[in-house]
């Protein structure tokens, strides 16, 4: 009986996330919308260690070594595409320290996609690029 309840809850929640996904990535504003925050909180539950995406500014980074700053729209387009295949985008998060937030003009977190390794050196370069461009 417990298993049936769990399955029903999973099916209901997956449907909710699918509906939220259509409202995600409609612009490239680095501050997440409520739907985007909710989706990422659910999508990255195992990786966020309690971090809450609600009302956060996000830097999206892609490329094997994190060599390219991506966009929110591009990231969610990948999510939607891979969701159709019942698969997930290789995603990681790097929560910024208070000093790094200042260095980047107020960003809270880096979300990586299709990045094998994000070195500290590359991360520092990303923060410098973001500050210069914004």
Q: What's the number of domains the chain is made of? A: 1
pLDDT in tens, 109-125: 999 999 999 999 999 99
Reply yes or no on whether the pLDDT at 5 is more than 70.
Answer: no
pLDDT in tens, 53-77: 999 999 999 999 999 999 999 999 9
**pLDDT, position 16:** 43
Q: Is the dihedral of CA 67, 73, 77, 79 positive or negative?
A: positive
Residue-number span of the structural domain to which 75 is assigned? 2-133
What are the C-alpha distances in Å from 46 to residues 26, 40, 88?
25, 11, 13
**pLDDT, position 133:** 85
The mean pLDDT value for 81-97 works out to 94
Reply yes or no on whether the pLDDT at 28 is more than 80.
Answer: yes
Q: Where does the pLDDT of residue 13 fall: very low under 50, low under 70, confident under 90, or very high at 90 and above?
A: very low
**How far apart are the C-alpha atoms of 67 and 49, rounded to whole Å?**
25
| Contact predicate 57/31, CB 8 Å | yes
The pair of structure tokens assigned to 34 is 């409520």
């Amino acid at each position: 009986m417990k298993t049936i309840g769990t399955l029903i809850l999973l099916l209901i929640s997956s449907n909710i996330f699918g509906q939220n996904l259509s409202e995600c990535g409609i612009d490239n504003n680095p501050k997440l919308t409520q739907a985007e925050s909710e989706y990422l909180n659910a999508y990255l539950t195992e990786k966020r260690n309690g971090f809450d995406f609600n009302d956060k500014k996000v830097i999206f980074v892609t490329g094997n070594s994190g060599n390219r700053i991506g966009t929110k729209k591009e990231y969610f387009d990948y999510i939607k595409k891979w969701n159709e295949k019942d698969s997930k985008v290789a995603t990681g998060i790097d929560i910024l320290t208070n000093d790094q937030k200042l260095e980047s003009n107020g960003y809270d977190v880096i979300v990586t996609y299709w990045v094998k390794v994000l070195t500290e050196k590359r991360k520092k370069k990303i923060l410098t690029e973001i500050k210069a461009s914004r």
